[in-house]
Amino acid sequence: MLDRRLVILLGILTSCFFGLWVLLTTLPANYREEVMALIGVFAVGASAIAWHNRGDLTPRIIMANVATGAIALLLATGLIACGIWLVESDILPTLQVQWRYILISLVGVGAAYAAWRRARPPEPTPKLPILMAIEPPPPPSKALADEPDWEGLLADLTDLGDAHRLRQLTMLQRLHTILSTADKDAIEETKRTIRQELQRLRTAAAAEVQETEARDPLTQAVALMEWGTQKLPEIAELDLSDLLMAKTIADIRALHDKMEHVFVDHRTLLAIHPIDRDTAKEKCNARAAAAEAALPLLRDMGMRLSEELIQTNDTLSPFRSVTGFQVISLGEGCGYVTFEGNGRRAALQQAFGTNEAVLVEVRLFSFEHQSTRETIIRRVNRVRRWKGVTGD
């Protein structure tokens, strides 16, 4: 993993330094001193911030700060270069020298702080203890005469709001009911249930790894470069709204405080962008056909489309994804915007419309601080307006 991160870091540094060299060589000679001043202020500011937070620094965080710092410096230099170009074109008035250097200082310090904010270490997440060995079975005992008090246990855990143990209780009740019949079919169903649970655990573990890596600044930088490479054939169709959407989604992943699995009516899921490109439309049609074919299965499951159901039934294979449906809430009664799984959301809308409700398992990203939540909602709504999907 370290080698991969070093390659990414070197790639980012090379690209950023090349960009700085291009900016410096294309600027008028009388302005290069000011750009060098910006670089100096940025270096001092970044060093001061690193020293102040030296207790949090690790090799991983240092690499992330160097990478994000290089990107922030390139963007800050580009901003100053744009300002110089506007002044040279008489679009903006010329500022006095002292005001120019004050502005440069503010931009340099702001860029250094923004780089640290993006690369700072995340809050520690409590981890469950790792079992080093499989627990042995209990010793033989007399058969229990009494049926377990499932309803009482269900009521207690519901009152506690313990979703994790509620799921465990449901699984145990299923296995108990199956084994009570004690025939060959029951044993096969037990094995199938266990395989389904193993698949769910495997999917959940893979998703947690991916979500953890997605918050790493170097991974985000690679994802952005990969996204740009994928979009090169469509470069003529890209606009500012695509960049705004990418930045907003990155902010959701970086700033969220909690992610929980909940079921929501598919009719409350809102698009973040339209499905208007040929390849996306083809995928949407294939998924919609799969959803329609799985309708009898969904009805047997109470019209609940869970991640487990998707992972364990081939009919729904077009809906499979490590990340699942990822959403944020726009507020009470305002719906949920699907920032990951937007195409799958469109397929459900196409397959079922508004006539039949499907409860979809989504990963709801939430924000503890009201100001952060309001900022994210405002940015998401801006993306939706620019994308022309606010009427859905």
Portion of the chain with pLDDT greater than 90, in percent: 20
Residue 125 has pLDDT above 80, yes or no: no
pLDDT of residue 132: 44
pTM for the full predicted model: 0.51
Beta carbons within 8 Å of 115's beta carbon, 6+ residues apart: 46, 65, 68, 69, 71, 72, 73
pLDDT of residue 187: 74
Give the tokens for residue 355. 């006539």
- pLDDT tier for residue 347 given thresholds of 50, 70 and 90: very high
Between 142 and 119, name the one with better pLDDT.
119
For the chain, the average pLDDT equals: 78
- Residue 361: in which H helix or E strand, if any? strand 359-366
> Model confidence over 78-112: pLDDT tens digits?
888 887 777 777 777 776 767 777 888 888 888 88
pLDDT of residue 126: 46
Residue 224 has pLDDT above 60, yes or no: no
- pLDDT tier for residue 131 given thresholds of 50, 70 and 90: very low
pLDDT of residue 300: 81
pLDDT of residue 6: 77
The full DSSP string for 132-147 is SSPPPPPPP-PPP-SP
> Model confidence over 31-50: pLDDT tens digits?
778 788 888 888 898 888 88
pLDDT of residue 371: 92
CB 27 within 8 A of CB 79: no
Between 364 and 120, name the one with better pLDDT.
364
pLDDT of residue 210: 55
- pLDDT tier for residue 130 given thresholds of 50, 70 and 90: very low
**What residue spans define the domains of the chain?**
2-119, 166-219, 239-387
The full DSSP string for 325-373 is EEEEE-STTS-EEEEESHHHHHHHHHHHTTTS--EEEEEEEE-SSHHHH
Based on C-alpha coordinates, what's the Rg of the chain? 27
pLDDT of residue 119: 66
- Mean pLDDT, rounded, for 112-127: 63
pLDDT of residue 266: 94
Please, which contacts does 32-40 make with residues 24 or more away whose CB atoms are closer than 8 Å?
Answer: 34/80, 34/84, 34/100, 34/101, 34/104, 35/77, 35/80, 35/81, 37/101, 37/104, 37/105, 37/108, 38/76, 38/77, 38/80, 38/104, 38/107, 38/108, 39/73, 39/77, 39/108, 40/108
Phi, psi of 359 (to 5 degrees): -85, 115
Phi, psi of 317 (to 5 degrees): -55, -30
pLDDT of residue 124: 47
- Mean pLDDT, rounded, for 324-350: 92
Between vectors from CA 115 to CA 7 and to CA 380, what angle results, nearest 5°?
105
Task: Enumerate the β-bridge partners of residue 362.
Answer: 262, 325
> Model confidence over 183-219: pLDDT tens digits?
777 777 776 766 666 566 555 555 555 555 555 556 6
